[in-house]
Amino acid sequence: MLAITKASVWKRVFAFLLDFILLTIVATGGALLVSAITGYTEKTQQLQEYYTEYEENFDVKFSITKDEYDALSEQDKAKYDIAYQALIDDQKVIKLFNLIITLTIMVTSFGILIAVILTEFVIPLIFKNGQTVGKKVFGLCLCTPDAVKVSSLSLFIRTILGKFTLEIMIPVLVIIMIYFNTIGILGPIILALILIVQAVIFFARGRNQILHDIMANTIVVDMASTRIFDTNEEMIEYVKEKAAEQAAKEIY
């Protein structure tokens, strides 16, 4: 009875890319703002000064790869190990290093949160029907599987709990841990599993949904060819009318 036209994969991809570009721009601006407030740049410079001091005192270079370390002579390896041990035994350095990890997570999280709220929640509320800039450009919108308009609560669940918390911040935190070398091989495995789970959900359910859509009970549809109802009651009345019309045709 309900004519729902699911959005094509390519339209969703292009809409996603446009939204991703906008989100990245806003997130970068938000991160720079939080960074300035917390003094993040000054603290990273201070940590680099500690590194430089130990490198000069022990005549070593910390910023080398594992292959470069393996290529060192036994004497140079011993010198590097002594310098590195002295560095990590310095409580001022360790305290500052841990603070920078915390600030990195804070700056990144708040920057992304600001961007997600603006581009994925506020703008869709303004455009109506859950449309981001990307969806607006490519003629897509959100609705429930019954073609009912998405509520503000569903949009919040989709955006904050689904996209931000699960789909963005978990991978971002893993990437930060990989960058600071605190998670090892487990990091890439987690990222790969997240991609696999999303791909399985998208192709297996038949509605082109991913995790945030399932959480909010939403689907992305082609707006021009889908009738979206304001309420469940309006949708039910429409279905009843169509059923009555069909029954009348069958009688005659």
What's the token pair of residue 24?
């990245």
Cα–Cα distance measured from residue 196 to residue 211, given in angstroms and rounded to the nearest whole number:
12
Cα–Cα distance measured from residue 2 to residue 227, given in angstroms and rounded to the nearest whole number:
8
Q: How confident is the model at residue 1 (pLDDT cuts 50, 70, 90)?
A: low
> How many residues are given for the chain?
252
Give residue-wise pLDDT tens across range 48-64: 999 999 999 999 999 88
DSSP 156: H
What is the predicted pLDDT for the residue at 7?
85
Lowest mean pLDDT of 4-13, 26-35, 70-79, 91-100, name the range: 4-13
Cα–Cα distance measured from residue 38 to residue 111, given in angstroms and rounded to the nearest whole number:
13
Cα–Cα distance measured from residue 171 to residue 119, given in angstroms and rounded to the nearest whole number:
19
Q: How confident is the model at residue 11 (pLDDT cuts 50, 70, 90)?
A: very high
* CB environment 192-211: b (16+ within 10 A), e (fewer): eebeeeeeebbeeeebbbbb
Cα–Cα distance measured from residue 47 to residue 34, given in angstroms and rounded to the nearest whole number:
19
The domain limits of the chain are 9-245
Q: How confident is the model at residue 126 (pLDDT cuts 50, 70, 90)?
A: very high
Mean per-residue pLDDT, 91-120: 94
What is the predicted pLDDT for the residue at 201?
84
What is the predicted pLDDT for the residue at 36?
95
Residues 160, 136, 138, 153: is their CA dihedral positive or negative?
positive
What is the predicted pLDDT for the residue at 2?
64
Tokens 């082109």 locate to: 208
Q: What is the mean pLDDT of the chain?
A: 91
Give residue-wise pLDDT tens across range 156-208: 999 999 999 999 999 999 999 898 888 888 989 999 998 898 888 888 876 67
What is the predicted pLDDT for the residue at 90?
95
Which of 103, 113, 220 lies closest to 163, judged by CA? 113
Give residue-wise pLDDT tens across range 205-226: 766 788 899 999 999 999 988 8
pLDDT at 251 over 70: no
Which of 249, 207, 193, 174 lies closest to 7, judged by CA? 207
Neighbour count for residue 136 (Cβ, 10 Å): 19
Neighbour count for residue 54 (Cβ, 10 Å): 17
Mean per-residue pLDDT, 146-164: 94
